[in-house]
């Protein structure tokens, strides 16, 4: 079983590869991907073991082949549909963010409790009442949900999703969801992230004097001696 972290990085590598392909690069070495991704070459190679594609020791990885292999690993070839819950400021931003990004992972429906929104089409996505969830989900084979409702409503909506057969939830609400085993929840907790930034920004300032020097040394070393030999 491939780890949580690895899957995340594979998604990142793929995006980087797309960038490379866009600028005409044909092949890439693990240390280049690592530099772009903020990882080590060994980590990149270890992660790529999961997808099964093997590079060449002389030309590294073929950009388009590797992209394809990561796609085979990460994506559902039949495509997966997602639904958005909560069409407030954040919901709309999410909708516009994801619209037209990945063809086989798209938001096909939105749900809200606000009467005014129901029936309207926002960013090419029709809004439904939450009551229609089961029907809409069944008809469109939706199993992924993006939760952008107020924290107080989150658990309740999540339970509706589970009841409608959802298998994965991307949760933006600052509330820990309780879901049965077999349903995967990924949290995006902006408050927590901002507080982390605030904390480590202060720490960083405190460390500036002493430890940074050491950090820089180790980084230089890493770059200089590279991965091996």
At residue 54, φ and ψ (nearest 5 deg) are -110, 130
Q: Segment contacting DNA (CB under 7 A): 37-45, 85-93, 129-137, 141-149?
A: 37-45
Which entry of DNA, a copy of itself, none binds 139, CB below 5 to 8 A by partner kind? none
Binding partner of residue 78 among a copy of itself, DNA, none, CB cut-off 5 to 8 Å per kind: none
> Which one of 22, 23, 24, 56 is in contact with DNA (CB under 7 A)?
56
Q: Which of residues 159 and 227 has its CB atom nearest to DNA in the complex?
A: 227
Under the rule (CB under 8 A), what is the footprint of a copy of itself? Answer: 1, 4, 7-8, 11-12, 15-16, 36-38, 74-76, 80, 82, 88-90, 92-94, 96-98, 101-102, 105, 143-144, 146, 166-170, 174, 176, 181-186, 188-205, 207-208, 212, 215-216, 219
Helices (H), the chain: 4-22, 30-37, 41-51, 63-74, 89-98, 133-140, 151-163, 190-207, 211-225
Cβ proximity to DNA: between 78 and 229 the closer is 229
DSSP reduced 3-state for 210: coil
Count of residues touching DNA (by CB under 7 A): 29
Interacting residues of 165 by C-beta distance below 8 A, sequence separation 6+: 137, 138, 143
Distance from C-alpha of 50 to C-alpha of 36, rounded to nearest angstrom: 20
Smallest distance from a copy of itself to CB 14, Å: 8
DSSP 56-84: BTTTBEEHHHHHHHHHHHHS-TT-EEEEE
Q: Which residue in the block uniquely carries the two structure tokens 């200089």?
A: 224
The residue length of the chain stands at 229
Give the one residue of 18, 49, 202, 203 binding DNA; rule: CB under 7 A: 49
Considering only residues 7, 29, 122, 174, which one is a binding residue for DNA as defined by CB under 7 A? Answer: 29
- Measure the CA–CA gap between 3 and 24, rounded to whole angstroms: 31
DSSP code of residue 185: E
- List Cβ neighbours of 59 (8 Å cut-off, separation of 6 or more): 27
Among residues 16, 39, 83, 157, which is the contact residue for DNA, using CB under 7 A?
A: 39
Smallest CA-to-CA distance from 91 within 183, 166, 165, 170 is with 170
CB of 88 to a copy of itself, least distance (A): 8
Q: Which of 16, 20, 43, 117 binds DNA (CB under 7 A)?
A: 43
Query: If contact means CB under 5 to 8 A according to the sort of partner, which of DNA, a copy of itself, none does residue 146 touch?
Result: a copy of itself
Query: Which parts of this chain interact with DNA (CB under 7 A)?
Result: 3-6, 29-31, 39-43, 45-46, 48-49, 53-58, 60-61, 222, 226-229
């Amino acid at each position: 079983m491939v780890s949580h972290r690895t899957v995340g990085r594979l998604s990142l590598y793929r995006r980087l590869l797309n960038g490379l392909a866009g600028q005409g690069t044909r092949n890439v070495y693990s240390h280049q991907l690592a530099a772009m991704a903020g990882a080590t070459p060994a980590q990149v190679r270890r992660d790529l073991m999961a997808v099964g594609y093997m590079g060449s020791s002389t030309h590294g990885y073929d950009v388009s082949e590797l992209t394809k292999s990561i796609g085979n690993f990460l994506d559902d070839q039949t495509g997966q549909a997602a639904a958005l819950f909560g069409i407030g400021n954040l919901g709309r931003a999410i909708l516009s963010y994801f619209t037209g990004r990945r063809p086989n992972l798209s938001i096909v429906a939105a749900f809200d409790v606000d009467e005014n929104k129901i029936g309207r089409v926002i960013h090419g996505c029709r809004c439904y009442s939450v009551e229609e969830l089961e029907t809409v989900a069944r008809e469109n084979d939706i199993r992924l949900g993006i939760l952008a409702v107020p924290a107080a409503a989150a658990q309740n909506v999540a339970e509706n999703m589970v009841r409608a057969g959802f298998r994965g939830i991307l949760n933006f609400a600052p509330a820990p969801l309780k879901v049965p085993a077999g349903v995967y929840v990924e949290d995006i907790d902006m408050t927590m992230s901002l507080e982390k930034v605030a904390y480590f920004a202060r720490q960083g300032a405190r460390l500036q004097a002493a430890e940074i020097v050491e950090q820089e040394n180790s980084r230089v070393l890493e770059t200089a001696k590279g991965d091996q030999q």
